[in-house]
């Protein structure tokens, strides 16, 4: 049971710190579950039922987070395996499959990225005074 509690806490921390929206999570897990397949932004858009521009923005966010990679030759997106990331992504995938409502509520409960950025800027300014 303690391992499950630690895993749950690790998943929650990852979601709160690194995943902006449910579509971000679903894009990550789609690439994870189809590895080593490379996907275009348009194919991801179709799979997630989002506009292609939104899919591209989501995928680019995940690349910036070093959660997925982009192929230099095709420009396609793919999940690049790494042992530590694989272990955590497997935990996230399992949690999302078994606790869909809890996970989506957790992601939706986060303040927006703009609010978090504003708060971070204010914190940095205050620390420098």
Domain with 106, as residue range(s), is: 2-128
In contact, 108 and 45? CB cutoff 8 Å: no
Identify the bridge partners of residue 112 per DSSP, sorted by sequence position.
none
CATH number of the structural domain spanning residue 34: 1.10.10.10
The predicted pLDDT at position 110 comes to: 74
Distance CA 64, CA 120 (A): 19
> 31 or 117: whose pLDDT is higher?
31
**Average pLDDT of the residues of the chain:** 87
The predicted pLDDT at position 129 comes to: 53
Distance CA 46, CA 52 (A): 8
Q: Is the pLDDT of residue 60 over 70?
A: yes
The predicted pLDDT at position 51 comes to: 95
Which percentage of the chain shows pLDDT scores above 90?
68
Block residue for tokens 């409960």 = 109
Per the structure, the count of domains in the chain is: 1
Q: Which contiguous run of DSSP H or E holds residue 96?
A: helix 83-98
Q: How are the residues of the chain apportioned to helix, strand and coil, as percentages rounded to the nearest 5?
A: 70, 5, 25
Judged by phi (left if over 0) then psi (alpha if -120 to 50, else beta), residue 75 lies in left
Mind listing the pLDDT tens digit for each residue in 73-111?
A: 888 999 999 998 999 999 999 999 999 999 999 998 876
Distance CA 120, CA 102 (A): 26
Q: Is the pLDDT of residue 7 over 70?
A: yes
């Amino acid at each position: 049971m303690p391992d499950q509690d630690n895993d749950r806490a690790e998943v929650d921390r990852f979601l709160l710190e690194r995943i902006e929206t449910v579509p971000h999570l679903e894009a990550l897990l789609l690439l994870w579950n189809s590895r080593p397949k490379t996907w275009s932004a348009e194919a991801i858009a179709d799979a997630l039922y989002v506009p292609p521009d939104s899919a591209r923005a989501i995928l680019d966010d995940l690349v910036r987070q070093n959660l997925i990679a982009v192929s230099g030759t095709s420009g396609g997106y793919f999940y690049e395996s790494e042992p530590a990331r694989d272990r955590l992504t497997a935990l996230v995938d399992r949690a999302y499959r078994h606790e869909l409502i809890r996970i989506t509520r957790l992601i939706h409960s986060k303040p927006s990225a703009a609010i978090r950025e504003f708060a971070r800027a204010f914190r940095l300014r205050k620390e420098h005074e």
